[in-house]
Amino acid sequence: MSSLYQVLSPAGELVGDLKGQLDEATMIKMYENMVLVRQFDRKSINLQRQGRMGTYAPFEGQEASQVGSAMALTPGDWLFPTYRDHAAAIVHGQSMARVFLYWMGHMEGSISPKHLNIMPPCVPIATQMVHAVGTAWASKLQNEQHVSIAYFGDGASSEGDFHEALNFAGVFQTPTIFFCQNNGFAISVPFSQQSASKTIAQRSAAYDIPGVRIDGNDIFAVWLTMKEAMQRALEGKGPTLIEAVTFRYGAHTTADDPKKYRDQESLSEEWRKERDALQRLRVYLENQGLWNETREVELIERVSEQIDAALVEAESYPKSKPEDMFKHVYAEPTWMATEQESELVKPSKQEGIPA
Amino acid sequence: MKRKLTMIQAITEAMDQKLADDSRIMLLGEDIGVNGGVFRATEELVHKYGPDRIVDTPLAEAGIIGAAIGLAMNGKIPVVEIQFLAFIYPGFEQIVSHAARMRYRTRGQYHVPMVIRTPYGAGIRGPELHSESVETFFAHVPGLKVVAPSTPYDAKGLLIAAMEDPDPVIFLEPTKLYRAFKQEVPEEMYRVPIGKAKVVQEGSDVSIFAWGAMLRVAEDAAKQIERENGLSCEVIDLRTLYPLDRDTIIASVKKTGRAVVVHEAHKTAGLGAEIISIINDEALIYMKAPVKRITGFDVPVPQFSIEDDYLPTAERVKDGIMETATF
Ligand SMILES: Cc1ncc(C[n+]2csc(CCOP(=O)(O)OP(=O)(O)O)c2C)c(N)n1
């Protein structure tokens, strides 16, 4: 159970079976997507440092997990991200401008493209997992061929909601995919201190659902595992727990200082050198004659333009108005809120009042 | 010796001194060990007292609070840190069904001497669910005490009192004030009694009631209005939200005949309503005007692009004061 399923080795060599499922175009798309989201992530950190964005949760290092899993989905599937899974959301079709907006402190950043079911980033830990059971359950009851995927971290696996979600999904055999990115830390707490279980995948046994532990930096392994889980789900065979073992190179958020609790530089350096997801796919593609420096330069230029365009869009989004906070609290505003709203927008009554 | 501390330093010092003073005290929470807590309230304590007393727990609020209840029933005094008030909800069941009721259910045989510390309130540009002010949830539940300091001095004295209290105390720390200013804080251990409000500024025309980060807003408004309109405001820091200091509230409104309550919590069923009720019960005939509430709105605390518009401002409080003054 603690062995890792791997298809593409860190050296960029095929060590597993592609099962005839991965064509060249998909592999190239995988690489392009990973480069795009890595650039997006770095741009976001810079924007935060420039004060153009609020606190941001970076994901660099986890690209293969997010991109590979999201690429396996189809448009009607339900995606439940945490605050760190914007790469998955973007790959599934969320606009980068929306993601920028969200981190710029606008609720409108959570709006999903109409034809997609992308939920807002979930801030409370593990609480979205049970929702993914619910939407999947409804899909099943309504005979819709769609899965729901819940993203979560290793820390989340300690919360009660994690266990309740797995249990419900097992009982009702819902087409849910529980996708854990085990990046080794919940803020400062290493997994060894999070739980006495050796792996997260092994927890699936308690609920009698399939569980797999995979190399989360190997996008082929992620994608193939997802495809299998999806097939099982759509055949009515219930949920799967996937533990993708990976690492986040940077801080927990831009407000956090990882030097306090982990050997930040050397750990990140080691992962980057030995396991980086982009690097290994690039080597593989180059060896297959599918990639070269010219394409790389062209790609970087193209994604930078896309990201810049998204940023322009986000920054030219109309400024929020105070009264916006009263919208969408209920279908119909209550009298209390309506009164309060007029109080908020009324001109100050200070002037003209006698002392 | 005179030293000035921020609120977060005062809180650290309170825990440090009680840890040294009472071997039953232990701290539990997420990232409170080597990381020193997300706001650094427990900075360095793990090096001083070790990982058995400063415990980095798994990420599970129901687990932390539930285990703390058991620890408290069996001889320990757990001080729990929840990273932000909104993340207390997974442990809410344990607080309301168990911490609050253990003494009652066991007819006094067991009790739960524990403190749950948590940052609360808006104004720090936090992400979603990092700015909540839902003190009413806890003030509504019999069996809990609810405390919200507004100064470093009170934070230390109230936290020491909370750690010595035989009942579970929800200790709400206004995030915005953690590092906002420094104040002289005595080096020795001292207590600020739970259940006692503080008259921060005496006045004769209007009483203003506030707590936490809103106290500064209330004081600001009082100063401005005194300068601009010559009105004399009595500013009262409630400090404890359950049990409320009824005597101080009533004594003040009997003197002024007018009152304004300021809180950043949502208006409906907020504590302002309770304070007005107390005034109605005990001092209605002294009142020259209806009591005004200046509060947050009945909406989820908005994202930070319009967060400041949610919060009561000195301007809004001044408007409220003028309304009661000119009623
Ligand atoms: C219920 C709850 N408790 C605490 C927090 C504060 N918090 C935010 S992220 C985090 C760590 C999460 O770790 P993990 O689940 O491993 O995900 P990662 O951030 O590593 O991706 C904590 C404790 C929260 N958001 N929600």
For B49-92, the pLDDT digits (tens) are: 999 999 999 999 999 999 999 999 999 999 999 999 999 999 99
Single out the residue of B213, B271, B215, B221 nearest to residue B246, CA to CA: B271
Give the model's pLDDT for residue B2: 83
Chain A nearest CA to B77, separation (Å): 23
- As a whole number, the mean pLDDT across chain A is 95
Other Cβ atoms less than 10 A from the Cβ of A87: the count is: 28
- In angstroms, the CA A15 to CA A13 distance is 6
State how many domains chain B has: 2
Does residue B102 lie within any of the structural domains?
A: yes
Average pLDDT (A94-98) is 98
- What CATH number did the domain enclosing B288 receive? 3.40.50.920
Residues B146 and B262 in one domain: no
Residues B221 and B100 in one domain: no
- In angstroms, the CA A127 to CA A80 distance is 10
A183 CB within 6 A, ligand 1? yes
Other Cβ atoms less than 10 A from the Cβ of A187: the count is: 19
pTM value surpassing 0.90:
yes
Which of A 70-109 lie inside 8 A of B, CB atoms?
83, 104-107
Residues B111 and B231 in one domain: no
Distance (angstroms) between ligand 1 centre and the Cα of A121 equals 12
Nearest protein Cα to ligand 1, atom 3: B87
Q: Which atom of ligand 1 is nearest to the CA of A156?
A: 15
B111 belongs to the catalytic site: no
Give the model's pLDDT for residue B277: 98
Residues B140 and B229 in one domain: no
Which residue from B minimizes the CA distance to A260? B35
Banded pLDDT at A350 (limits 50, 70, 90)? very low
Q: Are B298 and B199 in contact (CB under 8 A)?
A: no
B245 CB within 6 A, ligand 1? no
Does residue B193 lie within any of the structural domains?
A: no
**Domain end residue (candidates: B157, B186, B215):** B186
Other Cβ atoms less than 10 A from the Cβ of B109: the count is: 9
Does residue B39 lie within any of the structural domains?
A: yes
Does residue B101 lie within any of the structural domains?
A: yes
Q: Measuring CA to CA, how many Å separate A334 from each of A280, A331, B297?
A: 56, 9, 12
Residues B175 and B226 in one domain: no
Distance (angstroms) between ligand 1 centre and the Cα of B31 equals 10
Question: Which three-class secondary structure string do you get for A133-178?
Answer: HHHHHHHHHCCCCCCEEEEEECHHHHCHHHHHHHHHHHHHCCCEEE
Which of A 119-158 lie inside 8 A of B, CB atoms?
121, 123-127, 155-156, 158
Residues B167 and B300 in one domain: no
Residue A331 has pLDDT above 70, yes or no: yes
Q: Token match 């809120």: residue?
A: A337
Which of B 254-273 lie inside 8 A of A, CB atoms?
267-268
Does residue B49 lie within any of the structural domains?
A: yes
- What CATH number did the domain enclosing B77 receive? 3.40.50.970
Q: What is the pLDDT of residues A199-212, one digit of tens each?
A: 999 999 999 999 99
Residues B226 and B175 in one domain: no
Distance (angstroms) between ligand 1 centre and the Cα of A210 equals 25
Does residue B191 lie within any of the structural domains?
A: no
How does DSSP classify residue B45?
Answer: H
- In angstroms, the CA A219 to CA A66 distance is 9
Q: Are B41 and B15 in contact (CB under 8 A)?
A: yes
Average pLDDT (A127-155) is 98
Average pLDDT (A84-98) is 98
Report phi then psi at A273, rounded to 5.
-70, -45
Q: Name the percent of chain A lying above pLDDT 70.
A: 97
Give the model's pLDDT for residue B1: 65
Q: Are A247 and A184 in contact (CB under 8 A)?
A: yes
Cβ burial of A49 (10 Å; 0-12, 13-18, 19+) is exposed
Residues B57 and B170 in one domain: yes
For testing the chain B interface, which of A130, A180, A189 should be mutated: the one with the most B CBs within 10 Å?
A: A189
Banded pLDDT at A347 (limits 50, 70, 90)? low
Does residue B71 lie within any of the structural domains?
A: yes
pLDDT, averaged in runs of 10, over chain B (327 residues): 93 98 98 97 98 98 97 97 98 98 96 98 95 98 98 98 98 98 98 98 98 98 97 98 98 98 98 98 98 97 95 97 97
Q: Token match 């090096």: residue?
A: B47
Q: Which residues of B touch A334 (CB under 8 A)?
A: 298
Q: Are A326 and B297 in contact (CB under 8 A)?
A: yes
- In angstroms, the CA A180 to CA A241 distance is 8
Q: Which residues of A touch B310 (CB under 8 A)?
A: 325
Residues B55 and B19 in one domain: yes
Domains in chain A: ranges and CATH? 24-319 (3.40.50.970), 321-355 (no CATH)
Average pLDDT (A92-112) is 96
Residue A162 has pLDDT above 80, yes or no: yes
β-sheet bridge partners, residue B237? B198, B210
Residues B167 and B241 in one domain: no
Banded pLDDT at A2 (limits 50, 70, 90)? low
Q: What is the pLDDT of residues A301-330, one digit of tens each?
A: 999 999 999 999 999 999 999 999 999 999
- In angstroms, the CA A226 to CA A212 distance is 10
- In angstroms, the CA A236 to CA A173 distance is 7
Residue A76 has pLDDT above 50, yes or no: yes
Report phi then psi at B19, rounded to 5.
-60, -40
Average pLDDT (A18-36) is 97
Banded pLDDT at A353 (limits 50, 70, 90)? very low
What range defines the domain where residue B162 resides? 2-186
Residue A354 has pLDDT above 60, yes or no: no
Q: Are B283 and B253 in contact (CB under 8 A)?
A: yes
Does residue B192 lie within any of the structural domains?
A: no
Residues B179 and B254 in one domain: no
Instruction: Please enumerate, as own/partner, the contacts of A300-309 that have beta carbons within 8 Å and a separation of 24 or more.
Output: A300/A35, A300/A39, A303/A32, A303/A35, A303/A36, A303/A39, A303/A40, A304/A39, A306/A36, A306/A96, A307/A36, A307/A39, A307/A40, A307/A43, A307/A96
Q: Is the dihedral of CA B93, B95, B96, B101 positive or negative?
A: positive
**Domain end residue (candidates: B186, B214, B233):** B186
Residues B27 and B166 in one domain: yes
**Domain end residue (candidates: B143, B158, B186):** B186
Banded pLDDT at A355 (limits 50, 70, 90)? very low
A125 CB within 6 A, ligand 1? yes
